[in-house]
Each structure stands twice: as structure tokens, then as C-alpha cells.
Amino acid sequence: MSTDAPTDLPADAAAEAADAAAEPAEAPAPPQPAASAAPAAPTSDPDTHRFECRSCGFVYDPAEGVRKLGIESGTPFSALDPVGFRCPVCRSRVGAFKDIGPRDKPSGFEENLDFGFGVNRLTPGQKNVLIFGGFALAIAFFLSLYSLR
């Protein structure tokens, strides 16, 4: 048996075949972590989170503040005085408030957000537009029936 390159191949192909036979096979590169495939979840700033009073349901939103108590808009909940601040509705202390996340976060449990017709991913404001817009459309259709005499 001869170790020469086959003679029926063109000269360039014969040279490539001889080079490939002479070089050891390279091991495939290990897979790289898919850093760019799945972007990291954006971390939200806790200073922008809203807090809800567990006693009465009052929601403290740092973007709005509380005019009644003289708290300016943009004041995070963590900057409030834990001794002096009380819920403006029921007078509960800071410990009665729980973090309900940022304003633009969809409401509900994380594991339930993928169910439904995409409605679970809507923010509360978007849900209000959908509901009350549907009511307005239904009323408009109902009133248009009067024009059918």
C-alpha cells in the first residue's frame, strides 16, 4: 500500500488531503456560555419600588410622594423616618408596609405571568385601559342601536 496522495484527484485537492492526513485531528472547542443569547434580567432600583400598607391597602409611590404629610415626590421609602412616618390612612408604622415592586411591573405571581392571552403580562394601568375601553366601546355600540329606527 502506498501512502502517496491518490492520483485521480486534482493537484490542489491531493495536497489538501495529504496535509489533512499529516496533521492530527483537533478537538472541538468547548462550548462557550451563552452570555449574549439570554440577557441578564434587569435589576430594578429598590428606591423606585412601591410599598403597600398591609392594614389598609394604601400604596406609597416614591414618584408621587404624599402631599398630605409633606413628603415630596422622588423620596424613596427607605429615606422615610421609621419612627415618625405613619400610614396617612390608618396610621400604621413603617413595618406594616410591604414591597410590591416597581410601578411598571406586571401584577401577579411570576409563575402565572405566562398563562392567559397575554393579559397577565400587562401592567395595572394597561389592564385599566383594556377594561374601561371595552366598557366604553360596549356603551357606544349600545347607544348606536338607537339610530336603527
Instruction: Tell me the whole-structure pTM to 2 decimals.
Output: 0.47
DSSP notation for 52-97: EETTT--EE-TTT-BGGGTBPTT--GGGS-TTT---TTT---GGGE
Question: Per-domain residue ranges for the chain?
Answer: 46-144
Q: How far is CA 87 from the centre of its chain?
A: 29
68-93 pLDDT, tens digit per residue, is 888 888 888 888 888 888 899 999 89
Q: What proportion of the chain, given as a percentage, has pLDDT over 70?
A: 64
User: Does domain 46-144 sit in CATH 2.20.28.10?
Assistant: yes
